[in-house]
Structure 1
Amino acid sequence: MEENEPQTFDPVEPIQLEAGTCVHESAHSMLSSNAAEGVRSVLVVSSRMAMHVVEGGRLEVRFARHALLHPRLAVQVRR
C-alpha cells in the first residue's frame, strides 16, 4: 500500500483587497431523524464558514460546526 505524501503549500503574495472585505461566507444545516415509531431524538448539525481579509492582506478563515441531539424536535419531525 502506498503512503500518501504530505501536502505542502508555497507562500503566496498578500491579497490585494481592503481589510474587512468578505471573500466568502456560507452556512449549512442538516436535520437527521429516525422515522420509525418510538423515535427518541433528532440530530441537528450545522456548520458555518467565513473568510475575511484582515490587516496586511492576510486571509482569516473561521469554521464552526455544531451538533445538537434534541429529543423535543423528534416529536415535531414525526408529525
Structure 2
Amino acid sequence: MSTKFLIKRIYKIGELLALAGEVKSGVIKEGDTGTTWENKRFTVVKIETKDGSIPTASSSQEVTLIVKGILRKDLASGDTLYIE
C-alpha cells in the first residue's frame, strides 16, 4: 500500500522541488519513489521539518519533501502524491 502525501505549498530549490505538506497515511523515507495522479515519477531526496532534516516521516506529520525528477508544472497545491 502506498503512502499518501497532500501538497500544501510548492517552491523550487535549484533543480529540485520543495513540497510542503502533510503525510496523510503511511511512512515516507529518503530515497523513496512516488508518482503524481498523472503518473509522473519522482524521488524523495530529503525530508525536512521546522526542526531540521529527518530520515522518515509518518502519518499526520507536517514536512517538506525535497524531490527530484519532476517539474513544477506537473504539480499543484492540493494534489495528493503516492509514494512507495
- Structure having the higher helix fraction is 1
Where on the TM-score scale, by shorter chain, does this alignment land: which range? under 0.3
Q: TM-score, normalised by structure 1?
A: 0.21
- Structure having the higher strand fraction is 2
Q: TM-score, normalised by structure 2?
A: 0.20
